[in-house]
Amino acid sequence: MSLGNVTMCHCYKCRKPTQVYGSRWCADCAYPSIDQDYTRYQNLLEEGYTRHQARLMVGWADPSEEA
């Protein structure tokens, strides 16, 4: 069995490699309601908000951060 084709999973929030294969979140970003917040973030993007606006509304960015 060859492990040469193993796919690295990356955190949906910060894009760092995850510690557990198949996980959506790295240990630094994971918290109990992150799946619900990610769904809300995706819904905001579909409604036409910019990524920065959606991150602000979900609580993943500070208002002082530039887009």
Q: How confident is the model over 6-58, as pLDDT tens digits?
A: 567 888 888 888 877 778 888 888 888 888 999 999 999 999 999 999 999 99
Backbone phi, psi, residue 10, to 5°: -120, 145
Cα 5 to Cα 2: distance, rounded to the nearest angstrom: 7
For the entire predicted model, the pTM comes to: 0.69
**Structural domain spans, the chain:** 31-60
pLDDT confidence bin for 65, thresholds 50/70/90: low
Q: Phi/psi at 56 (nearest 5 deg)?
A: -60, -45
